[in-house]
Amino acid sequence: MVKVITYGTYDLLHYGHIRLLERAKALGDYLIVGVTADGFDQTRGKINVHQSLMERIEAVKATGLADEIIVEEYEGQKIDDIIKYDVDIFTVGDDWQGKFDYLNEYCKVVYLERTEGISSSEIRSKEREISLGLIGESQVLNKIINESKFVNGIKISGIYALNTKRINQENLDSYKLYSSYDELLNNSDAIYIISRPKYHYEQIKKALLNNKHVMCEAPISTSKEETEELFALAKERGLILFTAIKTAYSTAYNRLKVLVKSGKIGKVISVDATCTSLESRIDENTWSSFLEWGPTALLPIFQLLGTDYLSKSIISHIENDRDKFTKIDFRYETSVASLKVANGAKSEGDLVITGTKGYIYVPAPWWKMDYFEVRYENQSSNQRYFYQLDGEGIRYELVAFAKAIETKKNTACIIDLVSSEIANLVNDFIKQKDVKLI
């Protein structure tokens, strides 16, 4: 019996896939189809696969061409599978020509002609393309533009900025620069906002009233009440209002969260986060350290300990009307938390989560998390966790936003309560409530 194996994502199964499977089957007597797991696809850079693994498996099964279906979960698995299933022929479309020649050592490798004119990516991008308008003055806009290129179904509709000093020339040349926010709204299905937080409330409200979905860099606004009002408005209108903090979308951060919640380090006693940077340019686009870093540093604190803290104290060092350094201490019923943020001072940007059985250490810069360690008194029990992080998490954040719009379900990694509490802190900070100056 000649055994054949082939692999693929098989998202939105199409004619090209079926033709490939038919020819693969005809190469032998028994066909094994490897369907890629969701996490594995992400590491290969396919990040807006529409169907779940189960749906894709069902679709391959429904063709009646596969004798056996397996899941492909890790790099190097093909060699293991070929040995394990005693495979005679490995086959794949010729878009992979040459890439799998190394398998010749284990079985025969056959590249089949790819069917012209059809692909999952093409179907995905035709299905729904969200035109995303960008508003703001930050250099982060350049990253959003860049990362959007990796996400099927998102197209940048243009930019509106009060000034364009920090936007790259090639982006200014490639995208339409609108002269008013209204014009940007008229030409977009959704808006990404990274303007100064004091403008967020008005900008978000206007977008929602114009039936546009919104993704806004945290804080959503500068008060809890306004933030709650905006979430309620979005809900009422069936729109997505998404808080953007890229770290919340990193795979490592999400694994860390579930490990902590499942008791891996016992009960959490303290969360300590530091985020600092030195600004090379100081101009009207320079943010205060708390507005620049506060929401990111607050994320693990509020997500791991909740938002019901009993008291807090804020200490800031201000120069030229801008806080260069801010430290906040929180007291909870049975735990504490602290954050240090600076835009104009430098420190070790790590994250430490102290527990009753052990602790988690995330090295600097923890907000670009791709690795962390779970450490115990007995060092031989320590564990290290590595995950791929593409585009600092922005790419995954855009995918989550696009999916939320498509499915009309708010799949955000940050719940409204955390967003509102972040806004509350920003409000205290702006009003200098409980703030001591040094």
Which residues of this protein are in contact with ligand CTP, per CB under 6 A? 8-10, 16-17, 20, 46, 92-93, 95, 114-115, 118-121
The end-to-end CA distance of the chain, in Å, is: 79
Which residue is associated with the tokens 């035709």?
126
Nearer to ligand CTP, 51 or 168 (CB): 51
Smallest gap from residue 18 Cβ to ligand CTP (A): 9
Give CB contacts under 8 A, 24+ apart, made by 364-370. Answer: 364/274, 365/275, 366/247, 366/273, 366/275, 367/246, 367/247, 367/275, 367/296, 368/247, 368/250, 368/392, 368/393, 369/247, 369/250, 369/252, 369/253, 369/256, 370/250, 370/252
| Pair of tokens at residue 12 | 């939105």
Task: Write down the residue that tokens 């490798």 correspond to.
Answer: 109
- DSSP label at 92? E
Would you list the DSSP string of 248-280? GG-HHHHHHHHHHHTTTTSSEEEEEEEEEE--S
Least distance between ligand CTP and beta carbon 23 (Å): 8
Pick 92 or 337: Cβ nearer ligand CTP: 92
Which residue's C-beta sits nearest to ligand CTP?
Answer: 93
Instruction: Output the smallest distance, CB 79 to ligand CTP, in A.
Output: 18
Choose between 16 and 294: whose C-beta lies nearer to ligand CTP: 16
Q: How far is the CB of 91 from ligand CTP (least distance, A)?
A: 8
User: Of 10 and 332, which CB lies nearer to ligand CTP in the complex structure?
Assistant: 10
In sequence order, what are the residues at sequence separation of 6 or more whose Cβ sits closer than 8 angstroms to the Cβ of residue 39?
73, 251
Q: How far is the CB of 336 from ligand CTP (least distance, A)?
A: 47
* Beta carbon of residue 309, minimum distance to ligand CTP (angstroms, whole number): 45
Alpha helix (H) residue ranges in 159-286: 169-174, 181-186, 197-209, 224-236, 251-261
Q: Considering the complex, state which of residue 112 and residue 256 has its C-beta at the smaller distance from ligand CTP.
A: 112
Could you list the beta-strand ranges (E) of 49-115.
68-72, 89-93, 108-112
Closer by beta carbon to ligand CTP, 56 or else 246: 56
Q: Cβ of residue 93: shortest distance to ligand CTP, in angstroms?
A: 2
In the complex with ligand CTP, the residue whose CB is nearer, 104 or 383, is 104
